[in-house]
Structure 1
Amino acid sequence: MSDITLGDLRRACEELWPAGTAEPWDRVGLVSGADGAPLRRVLLAVDAVEATVDEALRWRADALLTHHPLLLRGIHSVAEDTAKGALLARLIRGGCALFAAHTNADQPEGGVSAVLAERLGLARAEAIVPGAGPRPDEVFGIGRVGDLAAPATLRGFAERVARILPPTVSGVRVAGDPERSVSRIALLGGAGDSLLDHPAVRAADVYVTSDLRHHPAQESLELTAAAGGPALVDVAHWASESLWLEGAAEMLAERLPGAEFRVSALRTDPWTFAVGASAD
């Protein structure tokens, strides 16, 4: 029997994704569990929701490691008549710890945006917003911006994005001339309209991100029409962050041989179907 403990998992996660590099508003790290508890199985998922908690407990996982923190905003009760309280109680009763690696896992090499950039084949990718405290020779920070090996049409590039992401109801939405030639790509896994005005994004041919709202997207496109700037590619939030999980599991397995790491195959994108005609 393995003598690996939950404390070993915490130390491995701190090595990979230091909590001190998370955004000030974020809530990362151990949510529930004891360092001395044995660790044999860890399930990784984007979200701690009923489906992934069910999966973790059925598999008899000792920890559920998620990208999104369960207790991020204004939680004042974990009573079991609340959705989050009920999930947490089930995990505790099932002996399954809960751990989150969020914005601290967005920034490093092997992080959420870096994996997306690698899958898209971006060369010489740099952080859009460089972060503090990178390891030597490491690209570190929020988002990535780099170049395609060869120019593509916007439609062709969007189809490439769709191929690398798991399918979702919303798919890949695009704003821009489908025949526009693109080569300089900026991207941010997860919600990214806060960077629409960033100089590195404005200098790109395309900005790939999630959760773009109507007015910020519209204003960005009007600025592009007047003065140049990126086309927009909007992808499902869950899909853009799910690519990180496989590499995260591999890195943890290297550091904790003897423990088993599994990536949940469940889709936790909230949308289940869409109706209506295409805009084409």
Structure 2
Amino acid sequence: MPKWISGERLIQRLEEWAPKKLAYDNDKIGLLVGSLHKQLKRVMVTLDILENVADEAARQNIDLIIAHHPLIFHPLKNVRSDEGQGKIVTKCIKHDIAVYAVHTNLDIADGGVNDMLAEQLGLDQAEILQPTYQEPIYQLSVYVPESHADLIRKVIGEAGAGKIGNYDYCSFSTSGEGAFLPRSGADPYAGRTGRLEQTRELRIEALVPEHLLRTVIAKMVKAHPYEEVAYQAVPVKDAGKTYGLGRIGVLPEPLQFNEYCRIVKETLGLDGLRAIGPEKKPVRTVAVSGGDGNSLIPYAKQRGADVLITGDIYYHTAHDALLCGLNVIDAGHHIEAVMKPGVQKFLKQIIAQEGCDTEVVISESVTNPFRFY
């Protein structure tokens, strides 16, 4: 019999990759329509949710749409079934299709939209362009009988605890003696009710990033032999991993700007693009950001970029780029469609890890509103 992943579990795993806390303030991410309290047979990934996407999802019996751009970004004054976004919301509800948006948190996440673009463009040594968030890190400590120490180390390591640089499963243990008095109604792993017991235990410590803390603790408690698990999670003073918008890297070899524009157009499968700056300028260091990158021009210039690749550049912002000597390629907001195969690949991996048969498809509906003549 096929096994379907639950909506709650799929989104829990997705948010381990792209935590909500990475998103910009007031970004309308998360569940926007419907419910996650159901088993998912089919999931669709899309950049945008327009009416044609909702129709496609209904035809394909989709249970959940995962979109990059939120369906509901500005408050709706009404939800009418005959016009505007209300038509899309109504169709999704009618066909029991849940809608979940993963937006700027996916832009910022490791391996997210901007990393996908940097990889597609062949940038080497890619790193964050504009830091936006430093994740808190915790020292998790748990007391465990010596007989189960290896199991607990394995379980928390598999859940993501103890990662330091290029090393995984990092932990530290100290030996000691635990004491406890089981009261009436207790079901102790060792000892007897009503008698003070002492047993040899290990204190196992490992570092855990905040976005994985709940998952690590849940799996640790489940694997632990004790009825009541003694543990603590203490914030570490030094901040953890840095996250941010955009990426900056280098090309394998320098190119003239006009030649590089041609390569970008072909690589991203574009019908056209807008180029700002001298045609013959040598290009080696490249900054990239999906979506609206107007605010990133000073960061790209400060970091030594020769060109910024982004979308939706404003007229006067283009003048600012010229004045500061930064070339810009406005490749259009739709370049973020790179997220569709990227998210599909991730979801398929976690569904396989969960031992489920849920299918993940990519929307084929056209949502780019622009055509070039």
Q: TM-score, normalised by structure 2?
A: 0.68
Question: Between Structure 1 and Structure 2, whose CA radius of gyration is higher?
Answer: 2
| Number of the residue aligned with 2:280 | 179
Q: 1:157 aligns with which of 260, 281, 292?
A: 260
Correspondent of 1:231 among 327, 331, 344: 327
> Which residue does the alignment assign to 2:76?
75
The 5 Å alignment of 1:18-167 reads: 18-133=19-134, 137=165, 140-167=243-270
Aligned CA distance change for structure 1 residues 273 and 207 (closer, same or farther; 3 Å): closer
The root-mean-square deviation of aligned C-alpha atoms, in Å, is: 1.8
CA contact (8 A) 1:29 1:100 kept: yes
Alignment partner of 1:207 out of 289, 293, 308: 308
Equivalent in the alignment of 2:350:
255
Q: After superposition, give the CA deviation of every residue in 1:153-205 in whole Å (9 maximum; x if it has no partner).
A: 1122111211221334xx12112222221101111111111112226556210
Cα distance change of structure 1 residues 202 and 110 upon mapping to structure 2, 3 Å threshold: closer
- Aligned equivalent of 2:197: none
Structure 1 residue 253, shift from structure 2 partner: 1.0
Is the CA contact 1:66–1:99 (under 8 Å) kept in the aligned structure 2? yes
Letter in 2 for 1:236: G
Match of 2:336 in 1: 241
Take 1:208 and 1:152, find their aligned partners in 2: how far apart are those partners? 15
1:265 partnered with 2:364: yes
Runs (5+) with no aligned partner, structure 1: 225-229, 275-280
Q: What are the Cα deviations for residues 59-79 of structure 1, in whole angstroms up to 9, with x where unaligned? A: 111111110001111323223
Change (3 A) 1:251 1:30: same
Say if 2:300 and 2:308, in contact at 8 Å, map to a contact too: no
Amino acid at match of 2:22: T
Structure 1 match to 2:169: none
Cα distance in 2 between the residues matched to 1:200 and 1:175: 14
The equivalent of 2:293 in structure 1 is 192
Alignment identity in percent? 31
Give, as a single letter, the amino acid of the residue that structure 2 aligns with 1:112: V
- Given the superposition, is the C-alpha separation of residues 242 and 16 from structure 1 closer, same or farther in structure 2, using an over 3 Å criterion? same
Q: Distance in 2 between matches of 1:199 and 1:41?
A: 40
Gaps of 5+ in 2: 136-162, 166-240
Structure 1 or 2: larger strand share? 2
CA contact (8 A) 1:155 1:178 kept: yes
CA change 1:215–1:136 in 2 (3 A) is farther
When the two structures are superposed, what TM-score results if normalisation uses the length of structure 1?
0.89
Amino acid at match of 1:250: K
